Every structure is written in structure tokens, then in C-alpha cells.
Chain A
Amino acid sequence: MSDTGASGRRSWGARLVILIPALWLTVLFLVPFLIVLKISLSQSVIAQPPYTPTLDLTGGWQAVRDFAAALSFENYKLLGSDWLYIVSYLRSLGIAFAATAILLAIGYPIAYGMARAPRGLQPVLVMAVFLPFLTAFLIRIYAWINILQREGLLNETLLALGLIREPLIWLSTDTAILIGAVYSYLPFMVLPLYASLEKLDDSLLEAAADLGCPAWRAFWLVTVPLSLPGAVAGALLCFIPIVGEFVIPDLLGGSGAQMIGQTLWVEFFSNKDWPVASAVAVVLLVALLAPIVAYQRLQARALGER
């Protein structure tokens, strides 16, 4: 928006176009975030709403001042001192990181194959990647419980193939969380990767071959660098929501250590501690801001290359 200031000559239409998303973000993101931020600075009480102080604008300036004085960073200090939260954060980041790495490893060949498929077939393949979304997310995760349980499809298949003698324990492990996350987020990895690989000009690979570069090396020197923006977009689209994932660890994971989404849920609904839950959410958001900013930088650079 920096170039709007250059002159007031921008037409009203152009301003309106910027205004709509700005309004959208303000109403649906900034305002709720400020409310959450405000709650995270208050204290839990048994009342309705379950925190204090509350802001009463009818009380005038004095009320606002009293309200501000009563805010504190106690909840954040708690998050920093209690291992429960720290472990929960680290665990979430670890699982999200591992899941994203697996997603990248599985998603890249799929996207590559799609981009190399005959032109006429590609829209069909894109549809096929979307297909799982036609079933509700929750139902699909429940289906995984069936597959992963002791007498489930996975163990039966492995037993039938003679790969294992005893049924393995899949459900309620981190492996189950990873399987669930990889399964659920695969389209988010494949589609941006496909978009960037599909744009790749074949004549660049020909040029590489022409200059003496065998196909496998051309893949590393040309294909991979040029699909990097797609890989980063896919990784962020998967990593960020997996960090805050609640359903998958709750249904497929064990009862031991929790992911941060579960912690938040427990604080909010079981402990009714809205301020701590809000603080958990704010810290999570700030932690995830770093990769988003990094992505924006990359995107701005990619846009400059057009």
C-alpha cells in the first residue's frame, strides 16, 4: 500500500479494492486478536465472564485507567516457568516439523509426477488430490482409528504379508499422530508444489542437458531451485496448522504428553482459565509469525522476478 501515498490520484475504485480486505482483516482478525490479547493479560475468576478486569467503557476515562492498571503479565510468566507448557510447545513444534518433512518427501514425487503427466490428465489428477475433502475431516480421522487399532486394517495387512508376527501398537502413539497429519495435510503440500512444478519450462531442462548436465543433476540444479517457492508455501501451509492441531492428536495420539492445541483446549474448557488459554494462543501466534514473515519475504522476492 506504500505506493498509494505517492499521490491522491488513485481512483476510488482502487481504494475500495484495498479497503475490502483491510476491513475483513480488521474485523475478523485484528479485533479478535486484540480481545484475546486483552484477556491474556487479565486474571481468572469464577464469574461470568471468567476473568477480571473487564473493560466497561460506560465508566468513562477513569474506568479505562483502572482497567489498564489491573492488567498484568502473570500468565506469560506462568507459561515460561511451568514445564507443562514448554514441553507442550516443543512437542507440537517437533511433531509439526517431522510431519512437514515427511509431507515434503511424499508430496514432492506426487507433485512431480502430476506435473509430468500428460496435459489432459492433469486436471483429473488435481481433482483426485482434492477427493478426500468430499468426506468430513472428523470422519476420516475416525476411519484411521479403525485402520490403526490392534485388530485394524494395517496390522492385518502386515500380518498377512508376513512382515510382522505380532500385531503392533499403532494407535495412541506419536506415529499415529504423524500418519494422521501426513494423510490430512497432503493436499496442502502437493498443490502448491504442483503449481510451481507445472510452471517449469521444459526448455530449461533441455538447456541444462544441452550444456552437459545429466538429467539427475539438472533436477537438483534447475527443478529443485525453481520449485522452492512451492515447497516453502506447502511447508508453511502444513506446518502452521499442524502445530496447533487438536483433533488429530486428541483422537489418534496417546494420553501422555499433549500438543499445544490440546493444552489450550484443556485450559479453556476443562480449567475454564480463559486468561492462560489466551496467553497460550498469543505465544503460539507470535512463534508462528516468524515463518510467515519469512515466507512473505520470499514471495515478495518471487513477485519481483516476474
Chain B
Amino acid sequence: MNVEPPVRRVYVAGMADGNPEPAASRGAAPGLKPGRAPWAVPGARPLVQFEAVVKRFGGVTAVDRVSLDIYEREFFALLGPSGCGKTTLLRMLAGFEIPTEGRILLDGQDLARVPPHKRPVNMMFQNYALFPHLTVEGNIAFGLRQDGMAKSAIAARVKEMLALVKLEGYGWRKPHQLSGGQRQRVALARALAKRPRVLLLDEPLSALDRKLREETRFELIDLQDNLGLTFVMVTHDQDEAMTLADRIGVMNAGSLAQVAPPAAVYEQPNSRWVADFVGDINLIEGIVASVGLGETVIGARAGGRLRVAQNVEAKPGATVWLALRPEKIQIDTQPPAAFDANCLAGQVADIGYLGDVSHYKVKLDNGLALKVSIANRVRLVERPIGWGDRVWLSFAPEACVVLTQ
């Protein structure tokens, strides 16, 4: 691994292609130092490996053939709707659930025979699971005592952890004397105290208010850098996954739909489901008219031809979906002059003003409804575009992705 602390979260657009294939099969992206994107380095050895892991509870398949490599010092986020198997995946890594099929390896060692208390993995539980009979300090020190750490060292570490989660002076309280957010911070401190190889975080910040959540995010990142830990975090907060993670694994109904850095998940979703789940998107169904020379022409089902600056792996005549983020569409009250752009005319059906952005819902002449969002760059005294106005939507061929599945 790289010795110097890696510089965080600098991604070259399109660096990873959003392909969930094993990392080793892809080349390192140009312009990246090795170590910053270990999944893109050929031959890099993953710290944690899930190999075709399946978990069934009776008839329910909670995790379905998940194969995933997580690398040392990586901040990996599992993102997915409720009940898709995120917690179950973490619990298998911690050792509380035994995979029905497949293997989990840590440092190349099969974990099947390693009991939970011997795994160098700590988990922050979704329900905190604080010991009600112990004080905050007792909770944080619990794991350290198991290691037979010296009393003074334990005291120092506990103090450090309390400072980290901003709970100085709360050391002697019992969990029931804390607020929900404070309990969550104790749970975090307890899981961090042992400095595990892999820290598993199950919705770590969900009970914190916005300000504290943002602060804690930065602290988590700092901590991970300073201590060189590997984090696997479960969340269904997209912003959180986007800001924190090196890579995001998007889960759907037990399987991984896409594993890629945040930018790639957002800009290059590999399926309609991912595109729809992450952020807002317009999906336009169409049929491939022609492919070639880095450009694909698609005939929208509803009518109209759209050009995309992308070679699509589909034959002419195949059904595809054009995914277009609302913020990548330009809205004008006149037909736009740039004629290389795709252009669609319609009428404003709905407007939502959110302060920083405005959302428009435009009913196109061909029957489709598209969502458009515009950053409010100048102070809006009077809306330049109102209900029922005739507008022209345009977007560059580079602005959209074609999805074949």
C-alpha cells in the first residue's frame, strides 16, 4: 500500500467505467496515483472478499450471489432501499450470520471458521446495542478490556474517543441518560476504540442532526485517513454515500446492481434501476436507429430523434433507455440556436421552487413529461418561466447515457 496518506476523493470523470467486473481486469485510470483507486490496479490484493455469497432465511433470500472486493483503506458504502440485504451482508462479515453459500475472506483467509470475537472487525450496530448496565466509558472500554490493554492506556483511549465524538463530560452517564444522537455517537466510539482492520458501520449517522452529521462525516474521513482503517458503511442516504465513499455498492433485492465510485454511479449508471434509485432522472424509452463513430441515434418511442455521444452495445432496432439527469437539460423560452443539441418542445406543467434550484415539469409535445432543474443563479423576483409557458428543452449529446438493461 501507499505509505503517504492518500489524498481523498479526487476522481477523474469516467475513471472507472461503472463495470461491476473484478477490478483486476481493468487498467488503472491514467493520472491517478496507485493506492488511491486500488480496485483499478491490476493485481492489487483486496482486504475483504465476498465470493458468490448467498444468505437465505428460510424461504427469503436476503443476499443473492454477492461477489465483492473491498480494499485496504477504502471507504466503501452500501447503498440500497430498505430490506435489500445491507445489514445481512455486514452481519456475515462480522460473523453473526453464516453464509448459506459462498465464502468470505479477510486478508486472503477464509473466515468461515473464525468466530465473531476473533475477527479483527468491529461493527457499529443499527440499533446501537449499548450495554445498559455500563456507563459510556464502560461501553467504550469494553472491547479494550477484552484485549487486556493496560488500565492507563484504556483510560487514554477512552478519553480520546469521547473527545472525538464530542461527548466529553458524558463518560459517567448510563446509555438511558443520553439522547438518541448521543447514543449513536457512543456506539460509534465503542466500535472505533479498538481500531479494527475493518470497521462496519450500519447507518452510523442517521440519528444525528444535519450539522452534527456533516461534522461527523468529516471526522470519519479524517479518522480513516489517520488510522489507515477500512470502512464499510451501510446507508440509505445518498448524499452521505456520495460524500464519504470511495466506492459505492448499490444493492437491490439482495444483489449488487453496481459497484463504482460515486461519480460513476451518478453519471454512468449501468441499469435503469440504478439510474432511477440514485438521484432524479428522466428515462426516455427508444429504439436504436444507428450506431457508429461515437454517436448513437435513438428514435424515442414517443416520437423524435435523439443523438447520444456514446457507442451503444446494441444493434439497430433494439429497445434502449436514454437516461437524462434533470440538471443537464437547458430550458429556454425560444428555440435554441445550437443545432447540434437535442431539442424538444413542450409546455410547463409544474414548477417547484426550492431556493437554490427550481424544478420544472415539462409536458412535451410528443406526450412525454420531463423533469428539469435549473440552478437559480440570480435572485428571482419574478419567474422568467411560468405555468403553461411554451418552452424548448435541449441537452448535449454528451449529457445523457443509454441504458440497455
Q: Which A residues fall within an 8 A CB radius of B?
A: 201, 203-204, 206-215, 217, 221-222, 225-226, 304-306
Contacts and interface: CB of A to CB of B under 8 A. Distances in A.
B115 A222 contact: no
Contacts of B143: 210-213
A298 B133 CA distance: 13
A208 B146 CA distance: 9
A203 B118 CA distance: 17
Contacts of B191: 210
A305 B133 CA distance: 9
Contacts of B121: 210
Nearest to A214: B117
16 contacts: A203-B125, A206-B116, A206-B129, A207-B129, A208-B131, A210-B94, A210-B96, A210-B116, A210-B121, A210-B123, A212-B117, A213-B142, A214-B115, A214-B117, A226-B133, A305-B132
Contact of B117 (A210, A221, A305): A210
Contacts of A203: 125, 127, 129
Contacts of B325: none
A71 to B, nearest CB: 49
A222 B96 contact: no
A226 B129 CA distance: 13
B176 interface: yes
A111 B252 CA distance: 42
Contacts of B258: none
A210 B142 CA distance: 10
Interface of B: 94-96, 115-118, 121-123, 125, 127, 129-133, 142-143, 146-147, 174, 176, 190-191, 194
Contacts of B117: 208-215
Given A207-B131, A209-B116, A210-B94, A305 B176 contact: yes
Q: Which of A209, A214, A221 has the most CB atoms of chain B within a 10 A radius of its CB?
A: A209
Nearest to A208: B142
A213 B115 CA distance: 10
Nearest to B96: A206
A133 B33 CA distance: 77
A212 B194 contact: yes
A222 B216 CA distance: 29
Contacts of B127: 203
Nearest to B142: A211
By secondary structure, the A interface counts as helix
Nearest to B119: A210
Nearest to A201: B129
Contacts of B190: 207, 211
Contacts of B118: 212
Contacts of A201: 129
Contact of A226 (B122, B132, B142, B146): B132
A219 to B, nearest CB: 13
Given A206-B129, A209-B117, 19 more contacts: A203-B125, A203-B127, A204-B129, A206-B96, A207-B130, A208-B131, A208-B142, A209-B95, A209-B115, A210-B94, A210-B96, A211-B117, A212-B147, A213-B117, A213-B143, A217-B146, A222-B131, A222-B133, A225-B133
Nearest to B120: A212
Contacts of A304: 176
A212 B191 CA distance: 11
A213 B190 CA distance: 14
Contacts of A212: 117-118, 143, 146-147, 194
Contacts of A217: 146
A207 B194 CA distance: 13
By CB atoms of chain A within 10 A, which of B117, B123, B147, B176 has the most? B117
The CB with the most chain B CB atoms within 10 A, among A204, A215, A226, is that of A204
Nearest to B126: A203
B178 to A, nearest CB: 12
A50 B174 CA distance: 58
B116 A204 contact: no
A206 B125 contact: yes
B158 to A, nearest CB: 13
Nearest to A211: B143
Which 9 pairs between the two chains have the least Cβ-Cβ distance? A211-B143, A212-B146, A207-B129, A203-B129, A209-B116, A209-B117, A225-B133, A213-B146, A305-B176
Given A203-B127, A305-B174, A305-B176, A211 B132 contact: no
B136 to A, nearest CB: 14
A204 B134 CA distance: 12
A201 B118 CA distance: 22
A213 B117 CA distance: 6
A212 B127 CA distance: 19
Contacts of B123: 207, 210
A212 B119 CA distance: 8
Contacts of A221: 142
A303 to B, nearest CB: 11
A305 B142 CA distance: 20
Nearest to A305: B176
A209 B143 CA distance: 9
A257 B217 CA distance: 73
Contacts of A214: 115, 117
A210 B147 CA distance: 12
Nearest to B175: A305
A213 B143 CA distance: 7
A203 B126 CA distance: 10
A211 B129 contact: no
